[in-house]
Structure 1
């Protein structure tokens, strides 16, 4: 009987889990649809590259949707079991409350394991894969679009302004402010320009005509000006900066950076908090699965809609706790560890209290 009961409860959990997981992934995918269409229309990427993008997005989608689907599944299953008095009949047959919860523990443990794998290995692979794919698109379609009448920023610290549409004779004028090196700020003005490209090195440049280079040193009393008839202004290879971004800092590197700033750098604190969340979030998936048991039992009078609404409120509350934790970390009130784990502690306390009440009831 026990094995039959386990299979029955597991089946009751699996159906709403798969349904909600598919629905949630579709909702998130719909949000990204415009970006994917833009990639096809503006970048002209092929079906194979588009498939790689979708495959690379899946781990991030699943890390977000698996905990919610697990909560909805347990709420829906126990809401129905309680509403149809099946749970009462099971307990009247001598099956204890914790024995009924055991299949949920196993089911939630499986979802926890899957979320942990995706969080620790799938999501980092997804981020690197997307950036690598973006790198290949940049290298295949190496261009430097410069919009006229606006300040273009192709690189951080580099500002390019073209006052008028580029004419055939190249006499449209161009203004470049290069602040990438604070100790050597360059202002370049030219009457014309021509785009340059080195496919072998994946590098772009601008050939400037009839202009001047103004160097602004740190000493305000000194000033340097050089005129030229032709000057080639090369940008660093597109792959260099992007490849550097594909590598995530290790835990030891983050600790070292924080030690240098005396743990006052809010950006580094948030990154360290993300490392702790890689473990805390999968654990929240397991807690969500257990929390759905008492919530489903309590919400039997309100039906499936009421149980779903309560589940949404729980998810919103958990999200707000995470936002609060991040704020307290950046405000230097909480450590990154507690900022990531306090929402789980609160959630576990609520789950334990509701489970005890459901057992007594």
Structure 2
């Protein structure tokens, strides 16, 4: 039996890795397309895109981890059932409770992985991502300046530079300002610099020409300048500082300073309770998903026609339990003392698993034996 446990656990882990990799790739590609357009469109490099993608992976993995756990459990159980391996093991005297042991170990491994992600990696990565977004938003050169392209950093403003030297000098600059409906301004310069000070950011243009068109009289006036300063602070919306949020807090901070965290972030105790215990509940749900996939298919027993009906039932059951998690957060947000209800899907799923295993081990109703299937 110990050898069978190792064999089944290895199959579960291999299939879990495969499904997790496929699901993460599918969801990541969907997210990466939008992220690529936003970052590369703002003048960022491919390294920044890869950094943002890596920081978003922990959150993405937490979403697909229960699905991958369930898929691996269903696939391995279905294969062992089709190849009569489970039937042989049960005929030798192994009970369904005993056969569920490697699945339970697999579910615990998945739960540990979810715990590491939810309690530490996701908050740290989310905070780091927010910090990088603020840094990027303050990087005027990367957001505003792209060689050889006409950019519109704000409504009514068009900017163009032919080349940006390595020392930061802008060559052949064009700036059109149409924000004032009564007049239009066009600035051209052979060189320009970006200068940041305490009051904001200015574009210093050298050896250029300023043109002003009055809309009412259609009169055009021009003026040459040796140097001219144009304030571009209002063209770029940047955050002054990172706003602290509850999801950025690691679980050890929430556990050690519950009231202090709520007061510092300006949230209620119910929000802290919901955030903290939902992380534990997500880990417990991973264990339940693995056992549901196994126990539901075990009810079907062996059949030459497969266990598609049991697979569908397991999927519907999992969706029903998962949908409960979104509806039970409201009471906890209003009253922190009601945090135990966050574990309702996991506890209900555990009771269902126990009922299914008891059914298989004690009764023959809805159980197809080898003789009945053949």
State the Cα distance separating 1:281 from its structure 2 match.
Answer: 0.5
Deviations 1:16-37 (A, max 9, x none): 3223212221232133033222
How big is the shift at 1:191? 8.3
Structure 1: distance between partners of 2:332 and 2:62:
23
Task: Determine the structure 1 residue equivalent to 2:323.
Answer: 320
Task: Give the C-alpha shift of residue 117 in structure 1.
Answer: 0.8
Deviation at 1:123, TM superposition (A): 0.6
Report deviation, 1:127. Answer: 0.3
Q: Which residue of 2 aligns with 1:161?
A: none
State the Cα distance separating 1:355 from its structure 2 match. Answer: 2.2
Larger CA Rg, structure 1 vs 2 = 2
Moved more, 135-144 or 73-82: 135-144
How many residues matched?
301
Distance 1:145 1:282 in 2: 44
1:255 aligns with 2:259: yes
The answer (yes or no) to whether the contact 1:131–1:246 under 8 Å persists in 2 is no
Structure 1 unaligned blocks of 5 or more:
150-166, 175-189, 207-231
**Paired residue secondary structure (1:240):** coil
Q: Does 1:199 align with 2:200?
A: no
Match of 2:285 in 1: 284
Contact preservation (8 Å) 1:204, 1:237? no
How many angstroms apart in 1 are the aligned matches of 2:272 and 2:335?
16
1:93 offset after TM fit, Å? 1.7
- What is the alpha-carbon root mean square deviation over aligned residues? 4.1
- Superposition deviation, residue 12 in structure 1: 3.1
Q: Distance between the aligned counterparts of 1:85 and 1:65, measured in 2? A: 30
1:16-35 matched pairs, under 5 angstroms: 16-35=15-34
Distance 1:171 1:64 in 2: 46
Give, in whole Å, the separation in 2 of the partners of 1:201 and 1:105: 59
Please say if 1:138 is aligned against 2:132: no
Report SS of the residue matched to 1:242. coil
Q: CA deviation at 1:90?
A: 0.8
CA deviations over 1:36-61 (Å, ceiling 9, x no partner) = 22134312322222221222122112
- Pairing of 1:40-189 with structure 2 (within 5 A): 40-140=39-139, 141=142, 145-148=153-156, 168=176, 172-173=179-180
Distance in 2 (alpha carbons) for counterparts of 1:76 and 1:282? 21
2:207 maps to: none
Cα distance 1:12–1:360, how it changes in 2: closer, same or farther (>3 A)?
A: farther
Cα distance in 1, alignment partners of residues 39 and 262 from structure 2: 41
The reply to whether residue 297 of structure 1 matches residue 298 of structure 2 is: yes
Q: Deviations over 1:98-129 (max 9, x none)?
A: 33222112222212111111111111122022
SS in 2 for 1:241: coil
Counterparts of 2:247 and 2:327, CA distance in 1: 28
**Partner SS state of residue 153, structure 2:** coil
Contact 1:202 1:239 in 2 (8 A): no
| 1:275-298 C-alpha deviation (Å, 9 max, x unpaired) | 211111111111222222211212
SS state at 2:248 partner: coil
Alignment match, 2:313: 310
Deviation at 1:142, TM superposition (A): 5.5
Deviation at 1:316, TM superposition (A): 1.9
Q: Is the CA contact (8 Å cut-off) linking 1:276 and 1:336 kept in structure 2?
A: no
SS of the residue corresponding to residue 94 of structure 1 reads: coil
**Cα 1:191–1:24 shift into 2, 3 Å:** same
In structure 1, what is the equivalent of residue 224 of structure 2?
Answer: none
1:287–1:347 Cα contact (<8 Å) kept: yes
Aligned match of 2:354: 352
Q: 1:89 to 1:233 in 2, by over 3 A?
A: closer
How many Å separate the matches in 1 of 2:194 and 2:246?
24
| DSSP-derived class of the 1:173 partner | coil
- The structure with higher relative contact order (CA 8 Å, sep 6+) is 1
Structure 1 residues 185-242: Cα deviation after superposition (integer angstroms, max 9, x where no partner): xxxxx98999x97536694589xxxxxxxxxxxxxxxxxxxxxxxxx89779945323
